[in-house]
Structure 1
Amino acid sequence: MNGNENNKKAAARFLGFSLLGIFVFFIRIRLNGKSSIPIDHIVSFLKEALKDYYTYIICFLSGCTFLTKAVKKKVGRRFADILFFLLSAGSFVISGAVLLKAGPQSLLTAAEGAIQATGNILCAIFVSSVFIPLLVEYGLVDFCGMLCRPFMRRLFRTPGSSAVIGVSAFLGNYSMGHVVSRQMYEQGKFTEKETVIVAMGFSTCSVGLMLNLVNYLDLMEHWTVYVLCVLVITFTVTALVSRIFPISRKKEVYKEGVSPEMEPAVAGNRPAAAWREGIRRAEGAPDAFTAVKNILKRVFPVICEITGTSTCVITFGMLAASHTHFFSCLGIPFLPFLKAVGVDPGDLPWAVQAIGASIVEPVLAGVICTARDLGLRTRWIIAVVPYTAIVFFAGFIPSVWSCRINCRVWEMLLIWAERVILSIILAGAAAALLF
């Protein structure tokens, strides 16, 4: 096969897989009386098929995670290692208690809700992972990254390649963004400051978690607008937060002992260069089966860790939400901003509690507010802010630690507060314009 035929085949792969990925993730279709994106229909089918087995699945996965770490003595002395170990042990015990119907009724009720929420998260992440290669493996992300390169340095003070990491993390998982960011730092492609900006500003939760938030808050009919709004707000907030303390004080230095690798300048027509980059990526990409197999290998440990953290965290989060004012106290500093963007006074207690709960686990905000008679503007803000705030304890913070990214806990909490305030303002403005 000559070079021209190779290029045609690569172009066909680039266009075909990319268009299919756009259809699966962004185009609404009606099925069984429900209008939604194709991936949500698939997730709904899987949830219905597995919902009676969630407890067994979670008990098995958290048990495997806990026992593997214990038997292989993988629990280190770092807080993140100890935290993951204790949370996986807690999830194993909690799911076992639900199976045996053993324990206080309040604990079992919270645990059953947590298992349902975690099971829904796992289904969404699994299905999203199967289809993510359509967008990230065959050139679309690289094409968009090349087009975005001129804006990245100007807006976010990061290299153009960080656009690819941002979109990949958005479509995949925050841990992918953390791992790649650290790798770029170790290769001399990112400075310490650039690494922190990408890790704390681009490494968002997955589309799968977005699906859960939207479903809990009954916003699926606004899915496409919601995704676009979340993207715009996430990256707008990142551009702003990168210019204020504590990120603004991070050092513009490369890793010691590593030779810096600057991005080459793009000569000539940028769209044409972006097209060539997409074709190049498609040409070297694996077949669809191999791509899915490879990403599932990477995602499976993440699924196990999420199972081990979310079940335990959501259980105690729901207990705290039901029996204490803990999350309401956490959310009180944001009350003036929620009032300023026009949240209905009757909705304010739930909005404050949901925002406070988002520091523990984004989906917990949706769980707390599910089936509540909240206004559209309130539900919109609660669906947007936990995602665009990015930082949370159930998985994100330990992931940053495990990747040895130079950002302390108090700095992450301050970044979370900054992002929440800006996200509330922008989400409220978007709701006012849209609704």
Structure 2
Amino acid sequence: MANPPATQAPIRRVSLATVLRLFVPSLLGIFIFFIPVTYNARSTIPLDHMVGVVREALGDYTGLYAMALIVAGALYPLITGHWRRSVTDTLFTVLKLFGVVAGVMALTGMGPALLQEPDMLPFLFDKLVVTVGLIVPIGAIFLALLISYGLLELIGVLVQPIMRPIWRTPGRSAIDAVASFVGSYSIGLLITNRAYCAGQYSAREAAIIATGFSTVSAPFMVIVAKSLDLMTVWNQYFWLTLVVTFVVTGVTARMWPLTGMDATLTDGEPDVVPGQRLALAWKTGVAVAADAPSLVQSVRQTLREGVLMAMSILPSIMSVGLVGLLLAKYTPVFDWLGWLFYPIVALFGIEHAQELAQASAAGLAEMFLPALLLGGDAGIDFVARFAAGVVSVSGVLFFSASIPCILATSIPISLWRIVVVWFVRVALSLLMAIPLGMLLQ
């Protein structure tokens, strides 16, 4: 439950050292995670540049580094005994061991030729595993600047009037959403998991954030738009996709199965009396800054969490992602699943309704699949391509990466709940995206 309302929140004098402790690390963290800079003719956030520099420095050893994390992640539940905790843990431990086999095949080029096709193991290993394996630990080093020195608490109090009425999450969850969008959903999930473990989010709030805000970043949206030939309407696509994604999150936050999750928390944001919000935000932020651990301690803790998350995610991406891609490419599973969305698409009487429905269903395996399936066909009409581009992003949940990331956290949301949320998100996204595409064409 939330802390009791604050009856007084006067702005009191604080030492210069505390003020600097609040703002210097926080502003540096904002710069690293949120401010695009140009380096080597490429504009992106500093964290992304750092990942690129480290990847270039590692060179041919990048694959060995990723493979080491995959092996460590597969062995970790066996060593700690976590594989015994539940049927889901046991299943994912087996899948992680399979991920080691898949990783070896990706690294060495061994195995069946169909697995070595560009959109199979090479895609998973080079585009997802190596990138996530670098960005999560490196991001974790600098995450301490963002979350340990009062910024989350200060901003959380300020944006409470927006976040809680619309998305039923604390104000501090705005940081999670922005971190996912400008950086990586894995970093957003790392922040969410940290706050949940600290009692700052309830299970329900953490699940809403994980399944609703942990979307792909803006650079991924550019790739989707290019694949679907939507760059001529890039600004409209970008902003409308953003609106659809967060409107859908506001709806799913009020629907089963998320509404049935535990809402208990131990360290909620304080309620604010009228006229005291700015004062309480300042008081809360400086209090956290004053009591914050040293930078070395904070970095050590976030780095440990980041490495453990990377270890858990990578073998799951290799195994679950490969299974999903194989099902999408060589079986009619997603064709069948697409019939669940066909009535929604058919309501609007658009061309290629069946193709759009099936492509939307394939997004459960990998967020790029709707773009890959419709982008390669020059005959697909604009509305179907636009809707597929929106659903690729607003669906949020997919087996090749984001779902294993969520399952690797301590957030107590089961796989079946995640799949149900995905279905609702895609259905609602189609209902919004198709008419928007019609208005734009």
TM superposition shift of 1:380: 7.1
Does residue 412 of the first structure (1) align with residue 418 of the second (2)? yes
* Among 43, 49, 65, the residue aligned to 2:51: 43
Match in the other structure for 2:249: 238
- Compare 412-421 and 156-165 and name the one that shifted more: 156-165
- In the TM superposition, residue 347 of structure 1 has moved relative to its aligned partner by 11
Give the Cα–Cα distance (whole angstroms) in 2 for the partners of residues 47 and 428 of structure 1. 39
**For residue 192 of structure 2, what is the aligned residue in structure 1?**
177
Matched residue count = 418
Please tell me whether the aligned partners of residues 173 and 205 of structure 1 are also in contact (alpha carbons under 8 angstroms): no
CA separation of 1:389 and 1:200: change in aligned 2, threshold 3 A? farther
**Cα deviation, residue 98, structure 1:** 3.6
Aligned pairs for 1:95-244 (under 5 A) are 95-109=103-117, 110-117=120-127, 118-157=129-168, 172-174=187-189, 177=192, 180-181=195-196, 184=199, 195-196=203-204, 198-204=205-211, 210=217, 213-214=220-221, 216-217=223-224, 233-244=244-255
Letter in 2 for 1:306: I
TM-score (norm 1): 0.74
Which of 420, 423, 429 is the aligned partner of 1:423? Answer: 429
1:277 Cα deviation from its structure 2 partner: 2.0
Match of 1:358 among 333, 345, 363: 363
Deviation at 1:145, TM superposition (A): 0.8
| Superposed CA offset, 1:24-52 (max 9, x none) | 33333332222333333333333444463
Shift of 1:137: 2.4
Task: After superposing the two structures, state which structure 1 stretch, 371-380 or 50-59, moved more.
Answer: 371-380
Match of 1:303 in 2: 310
Q: Structure 1 vs Structure 2: percent identity of aligned residues? A: 26
Instruction: Supply the AA of the counterpart residue of 2:360.
Output: I
Partner of 2:101: 93
CA distance 1:401–1:295, change in 2 (3 Å): closer
Residue 21 of structure 1 pairs with residue 29 of structure 2: yes
Which string of whole-angstrom CA distances, capped at 9 and with x for unpartnered residues, describes residues 225-266 of structure 1? 999877655443232223334445x388759xxx99894544
For residues 32 and 152 of structure 2, the distance between their equivalents in structure 1, rounded to whole angstroms, comes to 16
Q: Which digits, 9 at most, give the CA deviation of each residue in 1:298-351, with x for residues without a partner?
A: 1111101111100122223333333234334434444566688999x67984x6
In structure 1, the gaps of 5 or more residues are: none
Q: Structure 2 length as normaliser, TM-score?
A: 0.73
CA RMSD in angstroms comes to 4.6
Does 2:295 match 1:291? no
C-alpha deviation, 1:399, in angstroms? 4.8
Deviations 1:399-422 (A, max 9, x none): 5698473x6654433322112233
My pick for the range that moved more, 222-231 or 414-423, is 222-231
Offset of residue 195 of structure 1: 3.1
- Structure 2 contact 272–280 (Cα < 8 Å) conserved: no
Structure 2: how far apart are the matches of 1:54 and 1:352?
A: 38
Cα separation, partners in 2 of 1:5 and 1:294, compared to 1, 3 Å: farther
CA distance in 2, matches of 1:223, 1:80: 40
1:320 has 2:320 as partner = no
